[in-house]
Amino acid sequence: MFNLNEIFILVGFIQIALVAFMQWQIYISSVIKTFSVGSYFLAAFLLAAGYVNGEPYLMVLGFLTAGIRAWFIPGFLSRMLRRDRWRARELKPVLGIASTIILSLLFAVFGYVIYTWTMYDYVHSAFGAIPVALFLQGAFLIISRSNPITQLIGYLVMENALYLFGSLFPELPFVVEAGVVLDVIGTVMISGVIVRLKEEPAQNTEVEDSTRREDFTELRG
């Protein structure tokens, strides 16, 4: 009924397009929403894979993904936004938005090239290029933005890419997947605390980029 390969390609490229879309968005809340949409697609893929292969284990994983990556984590992150949600945004992008969008695309292409040159012979699946591209795009999202929540989203995009990559192989042990999910939740929670701490002084002093200040000299070199 379904062709899993096609669903994989569809979901993978939707994710890549969504990351490019995140690069476009200045407002944090829309980045979070975009991530949520991407995770729902991932969950849908896992459900479809579980249905086609007749494996309840994958379907459980799909529901877990929908619940945690698509619903809980984005909800948690948008509650982190202290100011009005529609106003929280990237104050000073490191690069121009248009150039970061193009660079993100180039990273995807780079991922594809790297994959076909180095790993394709071992994995024997052309589709592996999609998660690798997504992985590099997530890394670039972290580099190109200075807002901590967007950086966290970049990390989660990388995690999603690995999830997608893992689904290319016969199923990983469930304990491992569950442990990974637990760790991701833990990381997000801890980061939430740190994000709050980071935003507090920024709010009081209205200094946009606090890392340029005098007390931060120690962190250089």
Partner 1 sequence: MLLILSILQLLYVVLLAPLAAGVLAKTEELLESKKGPSIFQTYYDLAKLFRKESLVPGVALPFFRIAPYLTFAFYLLLTLVLPIITAFPLTFGPVVDFMGGGLVFGAAAAIKKLAALDSRNNYSHLGTSRAASIGALSEPIMLLIFIMLGVISHTNNPYVINNILQTSGAWYGSLVHWFVTIAFFMVLIVETGKLPIESHSMGELGMIDQSMEMEYSGRELALYKWGSYMKHFLLMNVFMNVLAVPFLVPMALSIPAVLVYALINFVKILVLVVVFALLNESVSKYRLFKIFDYVAVTFVFAFLAALVFFTTRPGGGF
Partner 2 sequence: MIWIYYLPVALSGIGGLLCLIPKTRFEEDVSIVASFATLGASILIAFMPDASSFGLYVDGFSKLMQLMISAVYVLTVIFSIHYLDHIENKLFQTNLYFLLLNWFVVSMFFTVMVDNVGLLWVGVEATTVTSALLIATDNNEVAVEATWRYIVIVSTGLTISLLATIFIYGGFHTLSLNALLQAPQATKIVSVGALLGIIGYGTKGGIFPMHTWLPDAHGRAPAPVSAMFSAVLLPVALYTIVRFVQIVPLESVRNFAVVLGSLSVIVASLMAFSQRYYKRMFAYSSIENMGVALIGIALGGNAFIGSVIIILTHAFAKSAAFFLTGNVLAGYGTSAIKDVKGVSKTMPLTGYSLFFASLAVTGAPPFGTFFGELLIMTRMISVYGAWFTILIASFLVVAFIGINYRIVRMVFSEPDGQYKHLDDNATVPIIGLAVALSITFLTPVIYMFLRGVAVK
Residues lying near partner 1 in the complex (CB under 8 A): 9-10, 13, 16-17, 20-21, 24, 97-99, 101-102, 104-105, 108-109, 112, 116, 120, 125-127, 129-130, 133
Q: Crossing angle for the helix pair 148-166 and 73-80, nearest 10 degrees?
A: 170
Least spacing, CB of residue 141 vs partner 2, in Å? 11
DSSP reduced 3-state for 66: helix
Q: Which helix H or strand E contains 83, and what residues bound it?
A: none
If the CB atoms of residues 109 and 193 are measured against partner 1, the closer one turns out to be: 109
Least spacing, CB of residue 130 vs partner 1, in Å? 7
- Of 99, 113, 169, 203, the residue at the interface with partner 2 (CB under 8 A) is 169
The interface partner of residue 133, options being partner 2, partner 1, none and the CB cut-off 5 to 8 Å by kind, is partner 1
CA distances from 142 to 71, 164, 171 (A): 22, 19, 29
The interface partner of residue 101, options being partner 1, partner 2, none and the CB cut-off 5 to 8 Å by kind, is partner 1
What sign has the CA pseudo-torsion 203, 205, 206, 212? Answer: negative
Nearest in space to 178 (alpha carbons), one of 89, 104, 78, 67: 67
**Region from 36-44, 76-84, 89-97, 170-178 binding partner 2, contact rule CB under 8 A:** 170-178
Under the binding rule (CB under 8 A), the answer on residue 215 touching partner 2 is yes
Under the binding rule (CB under 8 A), the answer on residue 54 touching partner 2 is no
The one-character DSSP state at 168 is: T
If the CB atoms of residues 98 and 152 are measured against partner 2, the closer one turns out to be: 152
Query: Which residue carries 């009005």 as its tokens?
Result: 84
Q: Crossing angle for the helix pair 28-53 and 4-24, nearest 10 degrees?
A: 170
